[in-house]
Amino acid sequence: MSDIYLDNNATTKVDPQVVEAMLPYFTEQFGNPSSMHSFGDRVGKALKKARVQLQELLGAAHESEIIFTSCGTESDSTAILSALKAMPERREVITTAVEHPAVLNLCEHLEKQLGEDGYVIHRLHVDDKGRLDLAEYRKKLSDRTAIVSAMWANNETGTIFPVEEMAEMARAHGAQFHTDAVQAVGKIPLDLKRTAIDMLSLSGHKLHAPKGVGVLYVRRGTRFRPLLRGGHQERGRRAGTENTASIIGLGKAAELALEHLTFENTCVKAMRDRLERDILAEVPNAFATGDTSARLPNTSNIAFEYIEGEGILLMLNKEGIAASSGSACTSGSLEPSHVMRAMGIPYTAAHGTVRFSLSRYNTMDEIERVVGVVPGIAAHLRSLSPYWSDGRPAVAEEAFAPRFA
Ligand SMILES: *Cc1c(COP(=O)(O)O)cnc(C)c1O
């Protein structure tokens, strides 16, 4: 039996059509798009096509709003640092407690800068379903805010934030609005020209294109300062010779993502729903984390109380099933993730979270196989747990498990 990959929020398989589109740009079409001869010219035309493919996926008004970068992380850094440099009189950043480390760690770094170089960072809280409180957001927004950076969808739970509304509110205060949409792009429909979003990040490898290529969308008219200075590539907004093959692959991936958007929201969603429903029906003391009423169609993050998520992952891996732990960060720390902590998931459950993230390459047969093994794995691990006996918790949760602050 072949392996089953349910870790698509970590990275995705490159679509074979994307590989095919890229191949000529390693061999015959090796020109530098800045060159004044036909070698460069042909590649330049292909780059322009890729830009238009991204414009269409995002619903951007102009292809010039698409800047190619090296990854989602670079796009996030460029956006936030650009706003701070463009509006030096504004010293505050608003973000959320559940952002990807690409945003959170940059903000922490900015906060730690000393004295006049430092910034005030506001991290918006989320409730137990991972939802923001827009009243709290309204209170933090002011004419001191340079930029608001809030993810469109959370990578661990799939929870979708109301970024369009948030962008309108930021604009009313003259602040720029950036969204890390790495997980949202290709999974939910986007139409940026109808929003007040100024900047958006996406990453190739989360959308069936290669690793090492991304996009920063910058709305026309947004005050912008480049992170990398040098050559005049990307209209002077991101210097460095273009990663031509990968950009062309990302263009193809964008085209395919647009074609598959309905499939994602019907078939992929149906597989995700089936997986979640059957697991929750058969495993006691388990629940889906995040806001299941505003969620990406491909993601299910399930908390199995009184079990270590890592144990489940190891046993799933033995069955040829790849998922991911929402509970501990990859650094080997045993602390639950910042996302679970921000939601105040009880300790007994936060350690036992498993993220299943699907793609259009999964099949219902695979889902049935997964659903067939998860209840047995949960029962086995619980049979080894001192906190579990006779099919239920052996201790009252309150007895030993304080909620996170
Ligand atoms: C993966 C991811 C990133 C980082 O993208 P890279 O291309 O790997 O740098 C940023 N934000 C979110 C939400 C992600 O899921």
Q: Is residue 404 a part of any domain in this protein?
A: no
* Domain of residue 383, residue span: 4-10+261-399
Indicate whether 378 and 293 sit together in one domain.
yes
Residue 91 confidence (pLDDT): 96
CATH value at residue 160? 3.40.640.10
One domain for residues 226 and 313:
no
User: Does 214 map to a domain?
Assistant: yes
How far, in Å, CA of 209 to CA of 110, rounded? 31
pLDDT of the residue at 403: 52
Interval between CA 115 and ligand 1 midpoint (Å): 31
Predicted structure pTM score = 0.95
Beta bridge partners of 325: 354
Same domain for 190 and 101? yes
* Active site (annotated) includes residue 329: yes
- Whether residues 217 and 285 share a domain: the answer is no
CATH number at residue 296: 3.90.1150.10
294 shares a domain with 178: no
In order of 167, 188, 293, the CA distances from 136 in angstroms are: 15, 26, 21
Query: Does the beta carbon of 153 sit less than 6 angstroms from any atom of ligand 1?
Result: no
Same domain, 384 and 358: yes
**Each residue's pLDDT tens digit, 209-228:** 999 999 999 999 999 999 99
Point out the residues of the chain with pLDDT beneath 70: 326-334, 396-405
CB 214 within 8 A of CB 70: yes
How much distance in Å is there from the Cα of 102 to the middle of ligand 1?
7
Mark whether 147 and 276 lie in a shared domain: no
Residue 335: its pLDDT value, please? 78
Task: Quote the tokens at residue 389.
Answer: 């006996």
Q: Which of 14, 68, 73 for a ligand 1 pocket mutation test, highest count of atoms within 8 Å of Cβ?
A: 73
| pLDDT the model gives residue 405 | 42
- Find residue 67's DSSP bridge partners: 216
Residues 230 and 275 in one domain: no
- H-helix or E-strand spanning residue 38: helix 38-58
Structural domain contains residue 373:
yes
Number of domains the chain is built from:
2
Q: State whether 194 and 209 are in the same domain.
A: yes
Buried b (16+ CB within 10 A) or exposed e, 314-331: ebbeebebebbbbbbeee
Q: Are residues 98 and 239 in the same domain?
A: yes
DSSP string covering 258-271, please? HHTHHHIIIIIHHH
Please tell me whether residues 180 and 298 are part of one structural domain.
no
Q: Is residue 222 part of a domain?
A: yes
Quick one: tokens of 136? 């709290």
Residue 293, domain member (yes or no)? yes
Say how many Å lie between the CA of residue 330 and the centre of ligand 1: 14
For ligand 1, whether the C-beta of 71 sits within 6 Å is yes
- Structural domain contains residue 37: yes
Is residue 405 a part of any domain in this protein?
no
| Domain edge (last residue) among 207, 227, 259 | 259
**CB of 90 closer than 6 angstroms to any ligand 1 atom:** no
Given 221, 236, 259, the domain boundary residue is 259
- Shortest-distance Cα residue to atom 14 of ligand 1: 182
* Strand pairing report for 299-304 and 92-96: unpaired
Residue after which a domain boundary falls, among 230, 259, 288:
259
Residue 42 shares a structural domain with residue 156: yes
Backbone angles phi, psi at 186, to 5 degrees: 90, -10
Angle, alpha carbons 14-356-252 (nearest 5°): 20
Could you tell me if residue 333 is inside a domain? yes
